[in-house]
Amino acid sequence: MQQLQFALLTSLLLLLLLPGIRSTATAQEQEVNIVHYQPEQVHLAFGETVLDMVVTWNTRDNTNESICEFGIDGLHQRVKAARMPTKFVDGGAKKATQYIHRVTLSHLKPNNTYLYHCGSELGWSATYWFRTRFDHADWSPSLAIYGDMGVVNAASLPALQRETQNGQYDAIIHVGDFAYDMDWENGEVGDEFMRQVETIAAYLPYMVCVGNHEEKYNFSHYINRFSMPGGSDNMFYSFDLGPVHFIGFSTEVYYFTQFGIKQIVMQYDWLERDLIEANKPENRKKRPWIITYGHRPMYCSNDNGDDCANHETIVRKGLPMLDFFGLEPLFYQYGVDVELWAHEHCYERMWPMYNYTVYNGSLADPYVNPGAPIHIISGAAGNHEGREPFFKRMPPWSAFHSQDFGYLRLKAHNRSHLYFEQVSDDKKGKVIDSFWVIKDKHGPYQSDLN
């Protein structure tokens, strides 16, 4: 009986004291000042040369310094950024803040594997690695190329992660539309996307161009999160890799003119200057292939009302009614070999084409010494918006098309041979299309085409 009375008395005391205990615990929790100094979302990009590597990462709180330790046989070298981390405030209701860190590892030794980690004295990332290649043209780079990959239904991500870790690629090109969308949920969707691609982008240069889904807050997430060469807010730039001169640019300047017409003029002038430089005899001899990539295609066969299904595509022809700053005549004039696109959630390969006219090299070998650029759409890496329908009656300039989710591979064998293949995720990695582009000479096409 006494034991029962004691148990009841103890229970009564606990009930009386419990609110005080809870309030004390709550006060202690409120006193905990959680800080977020740990690096996350680590990714790489080429700097001003392929032997310069830019390491970019984020922290939630400001560490006031950005350090990268790296080396071939260990983390023996250290680079500290001269600039403070960049404060980036999302444009959403919460005004979520993070800090973007950038460190450039310069004058790296070619054909070596480097270890690295990044952070500050307040916190470090895991140790990653990357392999340098060569700054000359006499080697054969391999790339994976795709657009339109989100955090939901990122169909190509597992294969790309596995192939990256197996050393299959020298670089990645993501042709616009990330995360769907990076600004959603006060930027949390963008954070999640960058975490998911870290197993690719922390090991390979992850080269990008902007898409329509990056438009929010004047493209602020795209501008702040990535670090492309050239100093143009990642909107247009070029780099050389093996025998190829790559040019990335924004198609979105033609569609979001509320941000100003000046950006169209600036980009067009830069593109022409870059193409003139690439076509100097000594440069075109060294790197004869010119490959461009931009998000919205000039041509497509999709029955969805998109601009590329119209005859007078803005990217192709220029500003409506004026035909100013159209890119098809510019790319044709300076002998661009291949034009890579995304936006349409599909894969489509065109015959060599200019102004809706096919200029195959020959009937038997259309891609041997073609008379016009070759357009390829690979925008099917995975999104939650679905697949794109095609016209029931396909146009004569469309050579191959597929609704399968997947991604494109490029092997630049040498100065005369390129090899492309499209991988299907739906068919568990099967190559559903492949072709060679072969050229004995490079340069401007015949000037009598109109």
For residue 118, which of 62, 60, 75 has the smallest C-alpha distance? 75
For residue 315, which of 304, 300, 334, 335 has the smallest C-alpha distance? 300
For the purposes of burial, counting CB atoms within 10 Å of the CB of 4, is it exposed (0-12), middle (13-18) or buried (19 or more)?
exposed
Check pLDDT > 70 for residue 93: yes
Q: Regarding the domain delimited by 35-135, which CATH topology (the fold level of the hierarchy) does it fall under?
A: Immunoglobulin-like (2.60.40)
SS3 113: strand
User: Is 171:242 a contact under the CB 8 Å cutoff?
Assistant: no
Residues 300 and 434: their CA atoms lie apart, in Å, by: 19
Q: How confident is the model at residue 447 (pLDDT cuts 50, 70, 90)?
A: low
Residues 420 and 406: their CA atoms lie apart, in Å, by: 13
DSSP 8-state symbol, 444: -
Q: What are 276-281's contacts with CB under 8 Å, separation 24+?
A: 276/334, 278/238, 278/245, 278/247, 278/334, 279/334, 279/335, 279/443, 279/444
Check pLDDT > 80 for residue 70: yes
User: Is 275:334 a contact under the CB 8 Å cutoff?
Assistant: yes
Q: Which range among 94-108, 156-170, 254-268, 278-292 shows the weakest confidence by mean pLDDT?
A: 254-268
Per-residue pLDDT tens for 139-194?
999 999 999 999 999 999 999 999 999 999 999 999 999 999 999 999 999 999 99
SS3 310: coil
Residues 67 and 241: their CA atoms lie apart, in Å, by: 27
Q: What is the pTM of this model?
A: 0.92
For residue 347, which of 394, 388, 374, 379 has the smallest C-alpha distance? 379
DSSP states of 59-70: ESS--S--EEEE
- Percent of the chain exceeding pLDDT 70 equals 92
Residues 304 and 299: their CA atoms lie apart, in Å, by: 13
Superfamily of domain 137-438: Metallo-dependent phosphatases (3.60.21.10)
Residues 231 and 222: their CA atoms lie apart, in Å, by: 14
- CA–centroid distance for 265 within its chain: 23
User: Is 249:290 a contact under the CB 8 Å cutoff?
Assistant: no
- Six token digits for residue 412: 């630049």
Per-residue pLDDT tens for 274-328?
999 999 999 999 999 999 999 999 999 999 988 898 888 999 999 887 778 999 9
Q: How confident is the model at residue 3 (pLDDT cuts 50, 70, 90)?
A: low
For residue 241, which of 167, 294, 174, 171 has the smallest C-alpha distance? 171
- Domain positions in the chain are 35-135, 137-438
With residues binned 3-state (H G I as helix, E B as strand, rest as coil), the percentages for the chain, rounded to 5, are 25, 30, 45
- Six token digits for residue 259: 């941000």
Between the CA of residue 416 and those of 138, 142, 292, 437, what are the distances in Å?
A: 12, 15, 17, 8
Peptide linkage before 181 cis (omega within 30 of 0): yes
Check pLDDT > 90 for residue 12: no
